[in-house]
Structure 1
Amino acid sequence: MFTALRLLFKIVLGFVVLSLAWVGLYAIVPVPFTMTMMGDLVGGHSVTKDWTPLSRIDPDMPRAAIAGEDAHFCSHHGFDWRAIAGAAAHNAEGRRIRGGSTISQQTAKNAFLFQGGGYLRKALEAWFTLLIETIWGKQRIMEVYLNIAETGIGTYGAEAAAQRYFHHSAATLTPVEAARIAAVLPLPKKREAVAPTGFVRRRGNQIARYVGAVRRTGLDSCLR
């Protein structure tokens, strides 16, 4: 029994040390690849990405991400408990499934883990979310998010999305263009930012209206 506990302790300690080193490394170097990108390659798709510092991405892009994905990004510490509770109540009513993950949680999942559910992955996601909130800070979290989030089949990050959909750099995105990319984020394999119709058009227009509100009310204050 003592031997088993000692082995378990060593495994847990090794995981903690490894995860701290991994998060520390990604705090200063671009994330080179993710499990989601690997899935695209295995599925026969090419991967297009172009790491771009947050300072060279138009400010309306992170504002659109905040407006569309996580309005309390600058004020929470990785978890928006109100959004999580609201999503749980919404889903319990049998309506269209809605997530309550913050940008921090999505970044932790995208950078270190795999897609899909399960209690183990959720637990690991929570652990890595705590680490990046503590070690990286908000600006780095947003920078990584906007570089590795899937923005179309085989397309990752704001720069690759801007080039694919609008044929120019993410440094010069308009509020509408940024909003359309943000509208694609929840289901990037099923949505297109160019000439969107239906939900994507409505959602994109809604986010575009909120971009200015994010700036005026300081919801992006942690990124300035």
Structure 2
Amino acid sequence: MAGPPKRKRKRPVLTVLLTLVLLLLASVGIHRFVPPPTTFLMVSRSLEGEGLSYRWRSLDEISPRLVEAVIASEDSTFCAHRGFDMKAIEKALKANARAEKRGAGRLRGGSTISQQTAKNVFLWPGRDWVRKGLEAGYTVLIETLWGKRRIVEVYLNVAEWAPGVYGAEAAARHWFGKSASDLSAREAARLAAILPSPRRYNASSPGPYVRRRASRVQAAMGTVRNDGLAACVLD
């Protein structure tokens, strides 16, 4: 007896793929308007026994100095690229190759703010290739469906700034006892300076490394402001 036509056998697979694509698009589309309730990182840290301080604030309720500081520190070409900074990725790959030859520990990353947002909101912590592939796909989607202003708004609200502390509002209150809308340029630079290792460094009473890094970030904030590098986010 002849088997079923190949076209019929392919239909369930195509249906599953189409359903997955639609679910992916729906999840990205929802968060274009609805704040993420939590992230995988928040949940995993909470299960480990950490507290959870997460307070959503609109971008209008966050100091523009923090936007400038994060762009200066994390992704100076944010307004110019479409999700990926190929020059930064190339530099990171070369730096990591040199580090591996020397047996150095921490590797350098080349992720943009868009990539970090995609990872933080939709994916689990880790560095496996499956997650990196999904990160790239989500990055393209949020760049297309959200736009730059929404990406920064979400990023500032879900980023980890201390153990159990997520988002600019919780970070500002944790480190400086004030609202994110009242952050000074110096305080914003310090918050941006600890972003790469928020569980290790202190923003309110920084050591020499954070002070030096924050000083460089604050100087770069002037360039961001004067050259319009945050124009796609700030009015």
2:54 to 24, 49, 52: 49
Map 1:130-209 to 2 at 5 A: 130-209=140-219
1:87 to 76, 87, 92: 92
Task: Give the Cα–Cα distance (whole angstroms) in 2 for the partners of residues 21 and 193 of structure 1.
Answer: 37
Task: Give the Cα–Cα distance (whole angstroms) in 1 for the partners of residues 57 and 152 of structure 2.
Answer: 12
What is the CA distance between 1:184 and its match in structure 2?
1.4
Cα 1:12–1:198 shift into 2, 3 Å: farther
Q: Is 1:75 aligned to residue 80 of structure 2?
A: yes
* C-alpha RMSD of matched pairs (Å): 1.4
TM value normalised by structure 1: 0.96
Q: Which runs of 5+ in 1 are unaligned?
A: none
- Aligned to 2:216, what secondary structure does the other structure show? helix
- 1:1-40 Cα offsets, whole Å, 9 max, x none, are 9466443322221111001111111001111110000011
Task: Give the Cα–Cα distance (whole angstroms) in 1 for the partners of residues 195 and 10 of structure 2.
Answer: 43
Q: Is 1:7 aligned to residue 12 of structure 2?
A: yes
Task: Give the Cα–Cα distance (whole angstroms) in 1 for the partners of residues 9 and 89 of structure 2.
Answer: 37
Q: Is 1:63 aligned to residue 68 of structure 2?
A: yes
Task: Give the Cα–Cα distance (whole angstroms) in 2 for the partners of residues 21 and 140 of structure 1.
Answer: 16
Aligned length in residues: 224
Q: Is 1:102 aligned to residue 112 of structure 2?
A: yes
Identity of aligned residues (%): 47
- 1:134-165 Cα offsets, whole Å, 9 max, x none, are 00000000000000011110000111100000
- 1:21-79 Cα offsets, whole Å, 9 max, x none, are 11111001111110000011111001101100001111010110001100000000000
2:224 to 214, 217, 220: 214
Matched letter for residue 109 of structure 2? G
1:39 to 41, 44, 53: 44
Q: Which runs of 5+ in 2 are unaligned?
A: none
Task: Give the Cα–Cα distance (whole angstroms) in 1 for the partners of residues 135 and 18 of structure 2.
Answer: 18
Q: State the structure with more CA Rg.
A: 2
